[in-house]
Structure 1
Amino acid sequence: MEKSILEKIRSEYKPKLPQALKGNVKAVEGEPTNSVRDQQIIKSLFPNTYGMPIVRFEPGEETTHHAINVGVILSGGQAPGGHNVISGLFDEIKRLNPENRLFGFLLGPGGLVSHEYMEITSEIIEDYRNTGGFDIIGSGRTKLETEEQFEKGLQILNKLDIKALVIIGGDDSNTNAAVLAEYYKDHGDGIQVIGVPKTIDGDLKNDQIETSFGFDTATKTYSELIGNIERDCASAQKYWHFVKLMGRSASHIALECALQCHPNVCIVSEEVQANDDSLNDIVDYIAGIVANRAAHGMNYGVVLIPEGLIEFIPAIGRLISELNDLLAEHGDEYKHLDKAEQRRYILEHLSKDNANTFETLPYDVARQLSLERDPHGNVQVSSIETDKLLSRMVAAKLRLWKEEGKFKGHFHTQHHFFGYEGRCAIPSNFDADYCYALGTSAAQLIANGKTGYMAVVKNTTAPTDEWRAGGVPITSMLNLERRNGQLKPVIKKALVDLNGRPFQEYKRHRDEWAAMTCFVYPGPIQYFGPAEVCDTTTITLQLEHQ
């Protein structure tokens, strides 16, 4: 395939591995684990894979490994570094036994069910080292949750003599991996299932997972774009830029970009929820900052808005929760109605308080909240133009204040949504190394006979040699949550910790950044040069590990 000069040179980069993964490896088991919540129910749902110990890798003795075929799936949205996970997996299984083979299932979990696959060879893998995207085999969002799907998958696994399957994905995809591991273990099918933590949203992390891969590269990519906008903003001095950032269930991306770029406003959804703020409270907050800057001759600024904000406004969150249940139960009869009939149907079936909230929303936002859910039962928040909604409401507030003599400036806006721009970037050195180590760890979990585990790499703010690799039982991360109207086991999402160092660092500076123009321009990701420029982690990760 055609490559740019950067890609050609970048393909020669040799990812750095932790010391424990550089040669012969042994798995050392720790204490048994429990799920984060709902222990008895989770244990009853996963009797064969519950309570397994955490595993860490250490240098070991040379061991003979029998030949094995391995399958790999890329699941969910793209994240920089996915190709390096597959590269690390490929290199390690070939190092363990040159007869080992790797098969990729095409376009996500659906490829397993529909028996669409390709063998990944050394010739193929060479074209994808240190590249962004998931295009080596493609990705998809098919959920693996039915016995029919498991059995269809088993047919092709048996046909290809695949004994281990690696699922690279986010919280929902890794929950599917846990369910699949339990099913194949319970039925004695002899198929190992290993997960790898992926999501640019940054919400797949806990005591064992320090960060999900792709977060580093994506936030650095967005921060470059925001820095460019800030420089333009400070040059022209005539626009307020409203920037919506990807991150449907948490504000980690917005917060990291704020720490890197110092915008005038960054809304953190988790704080909105904790303060029980209304939509009008948020509008008043932004309008107040706009008015204050205008009073000092600054009719410009930058506002960062997390994609999932609308769900965290408590009144709207309660509305969405009831809408989810309503659409899950009555979706078939609802979807055949026209727009006006759908609105009437919703108002007739909602509780009084939620119906009142629904009626007060702008028509287009209410309509977007009532559209078909994604495969996991979630509102498709990327389609909700929260940035435009807020800027319109701020403009209306400022017009009122102008009539009252409280605002004498100008308010002109530009809108941006940064999502796809960061999902397939060439991975940073951190993500290139981290992902390669995750792939290597997944291979070692397979070699050590593990199933139902997620590959992990820890101590990631230290030099790469000092990173610690291993595996964590996926069941230890599960809790029960309502999805599509039913309680289901899912991996608990990590939201922004309002008492954590990253948010507290932002909180210490936000009043200054709101009043003054303190913009920082991070510039593009650097791939070649001194380590202090090229190998730095996110500010979030650095603060969390101080």
Structure 2
Amino acid sequence: MDISPLQQVRYAYQPKLPAILRKDIASIAPAFGEATGAPTDADAIKALFPHTYGMSRITFTEGDNKAVKVQRNVGVILSGGQAPGGHNVISGLFDALKAANPENTLYGFKGGPSGILEDSYQIISSEFLQSFRNTGGFDIIGSGRTKLETQQQFEVCAQVCKKHAISALVIIGGDDSNTNAAVLAEYFLQKQHGIQVMGCPKTIDGDLKNEFIEISFGFDTATKTYSELIGNIARDANSAKKYWHFIKLMGRSASHIALECALQTQPNVCLISEEVEANKQSLVSIVEYIAQTVRDRAEDGNNFGVVLIPEGLVEFIPEIKALIDEINHLLSKEESAFNALSDSEQRIDFVSSRLSNNSREVFTILPDEIQKQLLMDRDPHGNVQVSRIETDKLLSTMVDARLKQLKAEHTYKGKFSSMTHFFGYEGRCAFPTNFDADYCYSLGYNAFCLIAAGVSGYLSSITNLCAPANEWNAGGIPITMMMNMEVRHGEKKPVIKKALVELQGKPFKYFAEHRAQWARKTCFTYPGAVQYFGPAEVCDRTTVTLTLEQSN
């Protein structure tokens, strides 16, 4: 099969590792630090995870670790949505496994967690792995969204592992997937199955993070990919000088992607969902804010611009959030009657007639297409699928209507033409940046070191990521220290708490200090394509968000 020259060159790229992980693997030893605990709901989490709660944080140092050489079979699962660098996590895991003992075997379970339930696997060999190193995608073994939630599923996992003499599982996933990893690790310890479970922090959304998980893998590549596209569009807008581009960016519950892309490209408007919620901004006020920016720029003769919109924005607008909650509750109670209606107008009437007066008023002002999107199939948690709501079109349509009102009132004389975009899938399987290639490889290599340390229920942790890779720190944290209790399907369940944009954090504060200037003036910056060759400050740099977070 023909491959591109870049792809051929990337196969040969040797990812960089922290200095401690470059040593003879038998001389990498764990050092156990302070005990950990959940930041909220500690008693509830401790009660649910008696075997894995309160474990110590681990760092790796130089020392004698003969246990590394023991022959092991390890299983690996890719879980959830794709993120650039997943192949390198598996590459790092494989290389560490073979460095420890050439007789070790890596089982890749196909299609996500369902692969282990169905005993569907691929033996990962050096030859098989070669064509996936440093590439994007999860196609090496595929991924899936099957949840490991029941004791019956846990026992199937145990028996499949025992069938293949697998003594450890590595689950590569986001907050839900690593929650499942924590529950599975607890079950295996409770039942004394002798099977370890490790997690690796993956999500382009950037909302799986804390002090010791500084960034989730894939976020760097995805945001640089989107920022290149945004920069290209901004340059086109500045050239044609006639379009306002409304760009929705992936990010289900947090605005990290939108904020990072704003820091990289300096758009005229970037909405941050967490700020909208904190300020209790209404949909009308958001439309007014954008319309005012359009009007201000028109006064300067600039009838063009760029607006960035986080995917989950509608859930943070108070009256829309209340409407969505009411719709979720209504349809969970009257699911059969609603599903019996095939006509979209009948469905809209069915819901509208059963809403409270306030929610009905909000529902009515929404364009027909948005009403239909709010009533589409639910997600696995029984909620509105926010990613399907075309917030970019909603806002561009409402801004257009508002500007027509202003024109009729003779307070706006500009021209307004809009175009809408959604950037999501373009970034999930992109060729990983050098940063993500290095970081992911380190996460995988480090995950095996955690296995060799004899622990279970840990997340692979690589820190000090703004420094060169040889200065990165390697270790692990208990997954339970990131958990809290949340209501899912009407019941309180333990889950990893999503990290939202901190309005008091340095990245948001920097954005807030500069956005007024970006709004009126044309201050676009153009990041250009991801670079793999050249000076480290161009090729190996991390995100602006992480750089600001770790600045003095």
TM-score by length of 1: 0.97
Map residues 22-41 of structure 1 onto 2, 5 A cutoff.
Answer: 22-23=22-23, 24-41=27-44
Comparing 275-284 with 38-47, greater Cα deviation is found at: 38-47
Map residues 2-81 of structure 1 onto 2, 5 A cutoff.
Answer: 2-23=2-23, 24-64=27-67, 65-81=69-85
- Cα distance, 1:192 vs structure 2: 0.8
Equivalent position of 2:319 in the other structure: 315
Mapped contact 2:29–2:65 kept (Cα < 8 A): no
Mapped contact 1:324–1:485 kept (Cα < 8 A): no
Mapped contact 1:104–1:120 kept (Cα < 8 A): yes
AA aligned to 1:36 is P
Equivalent position of 1:364 in the other structure: 369
2:299 matched to 1:291?
no
Mapped contact 1:141–1:375 kept (Cα < 8 A): no
CA offset digits 1:138-157 (Å, max 9, x no partner): 11111111122222222321
CA offset digits 1:23-52 (Å, max 9, x no partner): 221111111111121111111111111111
AA aligned to 1:57 is F
Aligned with residue 427 of structure 2, among 419, 422, 429: 422
TM-score by length of 2: 0.96
Equivalent position of 2:217 in the other structure: 213
Distance in 2 (alpha carbons) for counterparts of 1:276 and 1:364: 25
Helix, strand or coil at the partner of 2:66? coil
Mapped contact 2:87–2:135 kept (Cα < 8 A): yes
- Cα distance, 1:531 vs structure 2: 0.6
Equivalent position of 1:457 in the other structure: 462
Map residues 109-120 of structure 1 onto 2, 5 A cutoff.
Answer: 109-120=113-124
* CA RMSD between the two structures: 1.5
Comparing 112-121 with 214-223, greater Cα deviation is found at: 112-121
Count of aligned positions: 546
Mapped contact 2:242–2:303 kept (Cα < 8 A): yes
CA offset digits 1:48-105 (Å, max 9, x no partner): 1111111111122252521111111111111110000000000001111111100111
Helix, strand or coil at the partner of 1:9? helix
Mapped contact 1:325–1:485 kept (Cα < 8 A): no
Distance in 2 (alpha carbons) for counterparts of 1:279 and 1:491: 30
Comparing 106-115 with 300-309, greater Cα deviation is found at: 106-115
Distance in 2 (alpha carbons) for counterparts of 1:366 and 1:184: 46
Equivalent position of 2:233 in the other structure: 229
2:405 matched to 1:400?
yes
Identical-pair percentage: 60
CA offset digits 1:314-338 (Å, max 9, x no partner): 1211232343344445545543333
Equivalent position of 2:109 in the other structure: 105
Distance in 1 (alpha carbons) for counterparts of 2:308 and 2:430: 21
AA aligned to 1:500 is G
Helix, strand or coil at the partner of 2:238? helix
Helix, strand or coil at the partner of 2:446? helix
Distance in 2 (alpha carbons) for counterparts of 1:326 and 1:472: 40
Helix, strand or coil at the partner of 2:127? helix
Aligned with residue 142 of structure 1, among 146, 152, 160: 146
Mapped contact 2:326–2:355 kept (Cα < 8 A): yes
Map residues 474-493 of structure 1 onto 2, 5 A cutoff.
Answer: 474-493=479-498
Mapped contact 1:328–1:484 kept (Cα < 8 A): no
In the superposition, relative to structure 1, how do residues 496 and 152 fare at CA in structure 2: closer, same or farther (>3 Å)?
same
Mapped contact 1:263–1:518 kept (Cα < 8 A): yes
AA aligned to 1:257 is C
Equivalent position of 2:164 in the other structure: 160
Distance in 2 (alpha carbons) for counterparts of 1:67 and 1:329: 53
Q: Which runs of 5+ in 1 are unaligned?
A: none
2:280 matched to 1:282?
no
Distance in 2 (alpha carbons) for counterparts of 1:478 and 1:72: 23
Helix, strand or coil at the partner of 1:229? helix
Distance in 2 (alpha carbons) for counterparts of 1:72 and 1:424: 19
Distance in 2 (alpha carbons) for counterparts of 1:159 and 1:510: 58
In the superposition, relative to structure 1, how do residues 352 and 175 fare at CA in structure 2: closer, same or farther (>3 Å)?
farther
- Cα distance, 1:202 vs structure 2: 0.5
Distance in 2 (alpha carbons) for counterparts of 1:7 and 1:480: 44
Mapped contact 1:113–1:149 kept (Cα < 8 A): yes
- Cα distance, 1:295 vs structure 2: 1.1
2:271 matched to 1:267?
yes
Mapped contact 1:227–1:522 kept (Cα < 8 A): yes
Equivalent position of 1:495 in the other structure: 500
- Cα distance, 1:371 vs structure 2: 2.4
- Cα distance, 1:121 vs structure 2: 0.6
AA aligned to 1:128 is F
Mapped contact 1:477–1:492 kept (Cα < 8 A): yes
